Structure formats: structure tokens, C-alpha cells
């Protein structure tokens, strides 16, 4: 037995998406005479119907509020311990330490923290000079992670990243010389400026956490994260990343230009002697290490996700595949990555269970690089983030 979904308001028509040439904006009605596409409606579980359905201690069905705050914990939620509190505290201090070198970019800092918790990779996109590389270096220093930076150029070879076999004249044999990928945090600067042959050298290390050279596989030491940067305004002499590689990034984080107050703070800091090339002089302290990060990630992976919330993620993913303005929807890998990121966000917020708002807040950064607009939508000036926002608004939120 299922509960009929609530009747949506004027800003959310379930299963309705704009026809080609239109884009679903919140509050925009469907034109007369056009038939809306229908998508399957999720069935939400009644208390007692599913053995894992979340219930409150008094036996009533658990229903998280829209803001996800002050919600009673479901019976199956992860019980947070003192160790959880300690790990959360030290990881949240990363924000304060990073702010000693980088002003603003709070969303990017949170995105990289979540990626580290779930062992994902991030693609940082922004115009030159918005502190993409400095941000990653600052986080690596505060977490005592070994980091390597590679400037991707047209003449870069795969062996320059993964390492290669080198002949030793003394022993008369070949030995393996590790490349910069053997680190905790690899900064792939301007990754779209190197040919696909070299870009693909990262695929195995990103997905399998290993490097295979001359028929021998070598494991990478966890945690391992690739933080790749790219410039969105200069495409001459660049090689766009293929879809197969884009899908391996957990997040695409867009770093925008600062507002007036933020830029004033940046200039004032430089006037007082800050030098981005001497990061250690900024006073960034070590707040945690690789061991704490791995323990925190293991705890975040145990955060409870109710069947209703899983159905909510599935509905959003299915909707991206049916939207007329999109030529490519989200893959199953994208759905699993959104689930893992939502678990990490809930844990970092001090909860042992996921709320729908955890999911909604991560949809844009998790999906914006996994979908593609149709040519006619691009010609009419459609924006991927706005399309995703309208899709999310069209999907019923579980109660």
C-alpha cells in the first residue's frame, strides 16, 4: 500500500518538463496544448510496511522538516559517539585554517572536505587568479596531506604523471620511478591543456586507486584525491575532458569572482605582507592527519539513508534523463556519488541520517558536469544550474 504523493504547488509540477525551446523555470506554467511528459512516481513507505522504514521512538513515522534542523532521529540512524564529535570538530577547523590564506570560497572549501571524506575527486573551474590552486594547497597543509602539483601542458606525457621504468646502469636492470600521482592530493593544474592520451593516464588512478606500468599494478596510498583545475574562458589550444573522465569527478566546483568586501580583504591581507608563494608563513596549523580523515570517512559511510530519501535521489536522477532540454542525463555512478556525498554532509552536520535538504544542496555540484544541454537549448541561452534547479523543484520531496 502506498501513500499518494502530495499535490504540488504552482512551483512544482511532478513529471512535467518544458518542451524543446522552453526551460522549466520555477513558477512557469506549461503552455496550453502541449502534453507534459510523465515520469514514474515514487512510492513512499508506510510505517510497518518496510522493515527498515524510519520511525520515531513513539512509533510514529519519521518525517524530517524541510530545513533538516531539529529533526528527531529515526530509529535506524547512526548513533554518533564522542569520537564522531572529535573528528567533526577537527575537520570543521579546516575552514578556519584555510581562511588564513584564502578569503571567501566557503562552498569550495566544503566541497573539497566532503570529497576527502568519500574519497572523491573535484574539478575546480574558475577564471585565472581566484585561488584555485592556493585553496587546495591550504587544505592539504591543514590536514598534513602529501601533495604534488603538475602543470598540464600539450607536451606532457603519461609517464610524467604515473611514473616509468628507468634503466639502472649499475645493476643492469630496470626499476620503477614513481610519478607525482603517488601522493595524497594531486593538483592537476589546467588539466584541459594536455592531450587526451595524457588525460586518460589519470583514469585508472582515479577509479581503481592504482597505477599499472609495464604490466605491474601498484596501489596508491589512501587517502587519494585529484583536484583538477580548468579555465572556463580560454578554449584555444585546449582539449575538453571526455565524458568518461568527467563522470569520475565527484564534484565540479565553480569559483567565482569575489564581491567588493571580499576583494578588499584580499588586498588588505597582501598589503600586510601575505605571500601566496610562502604558504607556511600564513600560520596554517595542522588540525588532523590522514588517519583521522580515513576514520571520519568510514563513519560518514555508515550514515543512515531512509528508503524515502533513496527514492527521492532516484526520482531526481530519472528526471534528468527525461528532461527535453538535456541531451545527456545522470548516470548510475552519479546517483551513487550523490548518495555518498549526502551521507558525508549529514555526518559533518552532526546527524546520523540524511534529510532531503542534504540531497538538494549537493545536486548542482554533483550533477552539473554529468549532464549535457541539447544544441537548441544552448542556442537559447539555457544554463545547466537553472535547469537542474527546475528539475529538483519538480520532484516531490518525501515527508
pLDDT (tens digit, 9 = 90+) per residue, 261-280? 999 999 999 999 888 888 88
Note the pLDDT of residue 337: 97
pTM above 0.85, yes or no: no
- pLDDT over threshold 90, residue 251: yes
**Residues 380, 386, 388, 392: is their CA dihedral positive or negative?**
negative
Residue 166 pairs with which residues in a beta bridge? 175
Q: Give pLDDT, residue 135.
A: 94
Would residue 64 count as lying in a domain? Answer: no
pLDDT beyond 80 at 55: no
Are residues 380 and 354 part of one domain?
Answer: yes
d(CA 388, CA 368): 8
Give the integer Cα–Cα distance in Å for 184 and 52: 37
Residue 310 lies in a domain: yes
Residues 87, 209, single domain; the answer is yes
Q: Indicate if 317 and 183 belong to the same structural domain.
A: no
DSSP codes, 264-293:
HHHHHHHHTT--TT-GGGGTPPP---HHHH
Distances (CA, A) of 277 to 88, 145, 334: 30, 18, 36
Q: Do 258 and 162 share a structural domain?
A: yes
- Rounded Cα distance, 280 and 140, in Å: 12
Would you put residue 256 in left (φ > 0), alpha (ψ -120 to 50) or beta? Answer: beta
Report the distance separating Cα 177 and Cα 59, nearest Å. Answer: 61
250 with 308, same domain? Answer: no
pLDDT at 200: 86
Q: Are the beta carbons of 74 and 55 closer than 8 angstroms?
A: yes
Distance in angstroms (rounded) separating the CA atoms of residues 103 and 135: 9
In a domain, 54, yes or no: no
Range of the domain at 369: 302-394
For residue 121, the tally of other CB atoms under 10 A from its CB is 21
Cis peptide before 223 (omega within 30 of 0): yes
- pLDDT for the residue 122: 97
Span 120-126, mean pLDDT? 95
Domain assignment of residue 62, yes or no: no
Q: How much of the chain, in percent, has pLDDT values that exceed 90?
A: 60
- Give me the CATH number covering residue 166: 3.40.50.300
CA distance 121 to 288: 20
Is residue 188 located within the same domain as residue 230?
A: yes
Q: Verify that 336 and 377 share a domain, yes or no.
A: yes
Helix, strand, coil percentages for the chain (3-state, nearest 5): 40, 15, 50
Report yes or no: 113 and 152 within 8 Å, Cβ to Cβ: no
**Is the per-residue pLDDT at 388 higher than 90?**
yes
> Is 363 found in the same domain as 286?
no
Q: How many CB atoms lie within 10 A of CB 41?
A: 15
pLDDT tier at 53 (50, 70, 90 boundaries)?
A: very low
Residues 56-69 have a mean pLDDT of 40
pLDDT at position 169: 83
| pLDDT of 282 | 85
We report the CATH number of the domain holding residue 388 as: 1.10.8.80
206 and 279 together in one domain = yes
Given 249, 277, 297, the domain boundary residue is 297
- Rounded mean pLDDT, 311-326: 95
The pLDDT mean for the chain works out to: 83
Specify the pLDDT at position 67. Answer: 38
The helix or strand, by DSSP H or E, that contains position 125, with its residue range, turns out to be: strand 122-125
In a domain, 5, yes or no: no
Is 42 contained in some domain?
no
- Residues 263, 330, single domain; the answer is no
The answer, yes or no, to whether residue 210 has pLDDT greater than 70, is yes
End-to-end CA distance of the chain: 16
Instruction: Give the pLDDT band (50/70/90) at residue 312.
Output: very high
Region 14-24 average pLDDT: 42
CB atoms within 10 A of CB 375: 9
Q: How far is CA 138 from CA 187, 195, 282, 356, in A?
A: 12, 29, 10, 31
Reported as a pLDDT band with limits 50, 70 and 90, residue 281 is confident
Give Dmax over CA atoms of the chain in angstroms: 81
Asked whether 292 and 87 are in contact (CB, 8 A), the reply is yes
What pLDDT was estimated at residue 295?
95
Measure the CA–CA gap between 195 and 33, rounded to whole angstroms: 48
- 206 and 286 together in one domain: yes
144 conformational bin, left if phi > 0, alpha if psi -120 to 50, beta if neither: left
Q: Domains in the chain: how many in total?
A: 2
* Least confident interval from 60-64, 113-117, 125-129, 229-233: 60-64
Is residue 16 assigned to a domain?
A: no
Angstrom distance (rounded) from CA 79 to CA 96: 27
Whether 285 and 317 map to the same domain: the answer is: no
Determine the pLDDT at residue 175. Answer: 87
Is the pLDDT at 47 greater than 80? The verdict is no
Q: What pLDDT is recorded for position 309?
A: 96
Q: pLDDT digits over 323-377, tens only?
A: 999 999 999 999 999 999 999 999 999 999 999 999 999 999 999 999 999 999 9
The last residue of a domain, from among 238, 267, 297: 297
Instruction: Kindly state whether residue 70 falls inside one of the protein's structural domains.
Output: no
**Residue 92: pLDDT band by 50, 70, 90 thresholds?**
very high
Query: What pLDDT, on the 0 to 100 scale, is given for residue 73?
Result: 59
Closest CA to 122 of 191, 182, 183: 191
The model's confidence at residue 75, banded by pLDDT at 50, 70 and 90, is low
Mean pLDDT of 123-128: 93
Amino acid at each position: 500500500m502506498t501513500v499518494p504523493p502530495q499535490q504540488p504547488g504552482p512551483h512544482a509540477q511532478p513529471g512535467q518538463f518544458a518542451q524543446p525551446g522552453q526551460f522549466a523555470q520555477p513558477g512557469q506554467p506549461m503552455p496550453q496544448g502541449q502534453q507534459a511528459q510523465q515520469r514514474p512516481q515514487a512510492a513512499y513507505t508506510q510505517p510497518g510496511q518496510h522493515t527498515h522504514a524510519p520511525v520515531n521512538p513513539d512509533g510514529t513515522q519519521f518525517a524530517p522538516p524541510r530545513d533538516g534542523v531539529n529533526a528527531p532521529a529515526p530509529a535506524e540512524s547512526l548513533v554518533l559517539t564522542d569520537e564522531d564529535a572529535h573528528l567533526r570538530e577537527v575537520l570543521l577547523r579546516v575552514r578556519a585554517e584555510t581562511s588564513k590564506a584564502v578569503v571567501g570560497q566557503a562552498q569550495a572549501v566544503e566541497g573539497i572536505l566532503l570529497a576527502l571524506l568519500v574519497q572523491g575527486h573535484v574539478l575546480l573551474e574558475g577564471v585565472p587568479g581566484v585561488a584555485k590552486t592556493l585553496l587546495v594547497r591550504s587544505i592539504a597543509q591543514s590536514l598534513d596531506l602529501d601533495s604534488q602539483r603538475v602543470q598540464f601542458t600539450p607536451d606532457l606525457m603519461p609517464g610524467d604523471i604515473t611514473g616509468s621504468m628507468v634503466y639502472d646502469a649499475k645493476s643492469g636492470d630496470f626499476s620503477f620511478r614513481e610519478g607525482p600521482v603517488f601522493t595524497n592530493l594531486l593538483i592537476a593544474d589546467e588539466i584541459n591543456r594536455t592531450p587526451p592520451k595524457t588525460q586518460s593516464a589519470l583514469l585508472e588512478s582515479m577509479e581503481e586507486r592504482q597505477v599499472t606500468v609495464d604490466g605491474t599494478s601498484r596501489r596508491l596510498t589512501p587517502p587519494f584525491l585529484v583536484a583538477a583545475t580548468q579555465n572556463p574562458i580560454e578554449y584555444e589550444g585546449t582539449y575538453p575532458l571526455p565524458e568518461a573522465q568527467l563522470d569520475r569527478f565527484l564534484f565540479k566546483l565553480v569559483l567565482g569572482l569575489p564581491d567588493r568586501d571580499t576583494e578588499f580583504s584580499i588586498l588588505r591581507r597582501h598589503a600586510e605582507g601575505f605571500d601566496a608563494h610562502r604558504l607556511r608563513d600564513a600560520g596554517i596549523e595542522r588540525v588532523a592527519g590522514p588517519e583521522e580523515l580515513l576514520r571520519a570517512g568510514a563513519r560518514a559511510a555508515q550514515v543512515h539513508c531512509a528508503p524515502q530519501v533513496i527514492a527521492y535521489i532516484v526520482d531526481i536522477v530519472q528526471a534528468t534523463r527525461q528532461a527535453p532540454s538535456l541531451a545527456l542525463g545522470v548516470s548510475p555512478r552519479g546517483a551513487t556519488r550523490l548518495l555518498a556525498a549526502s551521507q558525508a554532509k549529514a555526518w559533518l552536520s552532526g546527524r546520523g541520517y540524511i534529510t532531503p535538504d542534504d540531497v538538494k544542496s549537493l545536486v548542482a555540484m554533483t550533477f552539473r558536469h554529468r549532464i549535457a544541454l541539447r544544441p537548441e537549448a544552448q542556442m537559447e541561452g539555457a544554463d545547466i544550474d537553472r535547469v537542474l534547479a527546475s528539475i529538483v523543484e519538480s520532484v516531490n520531496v518525501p515527508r
